[in-house]
Amino acid sequence: MRLLALALAIPLLWSNAAYAGRPGTVEQKARDQYATAIPFCQMIAVRTKYIGTEVAVSGLYASTPERGMIYGQECPNAAISLSAEGVDGEWVSPQAKAVFADVYRDADRVVHVPVVILGVLRATPYITPCSKDTCMRYKLERAQIIAALPDVVVRWPGSRANGAVPK
């Protein structure tokens, strides 16, 4: 009986630990989360629908002095800042931290990583009195980076990470 249980357990342990991207691995879970999250450009197109609700958004993360922002390649003129206020504990998952550590180790700071961010979309008017969509500043509050993809990294042209010579 023990031999049978061991014979069944070894292939499961081997398949989960040996190959990244296979079903059940941390990397595959991140890919699944990215695939099922709302794409940033899709969310931004109907943003009023999501105001005040918690949403999982996939897009590109860019580090900023104020915590960061998320945007989409298909809608580069739109970006939303992130706020981790109100988050209990860490705002970046261990999986995403590992991806960021690998990415930033070999590149300069001009790197944008595909991520999934969980947060509450908020809108505040920055032109008053105005309630139009164009008068609002959007932010993902209680933002948590729950997943990051390691193999699809966007770098700005001219960054050392692209092999370009810095000026």
| Per-residue pLDDT reduced to its tens digit, 118-133 | 999 998 887 777 666 6
**Does 149 or 130 have the greater pLDDT score?**
149
| Per-residue pLDDT reduced to its tens digit, 132-142 | 666 788 899 99
pTM, full prediction: 0.73
pLDDT at 87: 80
CA distance 116 to 80: 13
| Per-residue pLDDT reduced to its tens digit, 10-69 | 333 333 333 344 556 888 899 999 999 999 999 999 998 999 999 999 999 988 777 788
Scanning the chain, the segments in alpha helix (DSSP H) are 2-18, 26-36, 40-45, 94-105
What domains does the chain contain, in order, with CATH numbers? 21-162 (2.40.50)
What are φ and ψ of residue 84, in 5° steps?
-95, 5
CA distance 142 to 83: 6
Asked whether residue 115 carries a pLDDT value surpassing 70, the answer given is yes
pLDDT at 21: 47
Find out whether 164 and 158 touch, Cβ atoms under 8 Å: yes
Sign of dihedral through CA atoms 118, 78, 124, 53? negative
pLDDT at 22: 52
pLDDT at 132: 67
Amino acid occupying residue 80: I
pLDDT at 117: 95
C-alpha pair distances (Å), 94 with each of 72, 89, 91, 101, 154? 23, 12, 10, 10, 21
Nearest to 147, CA basis, from 8, 28, 24: 28
pLDDT at 33: 93
Asked whether residue 109 carries a pLDDT value surpassing 70, the answer given is no
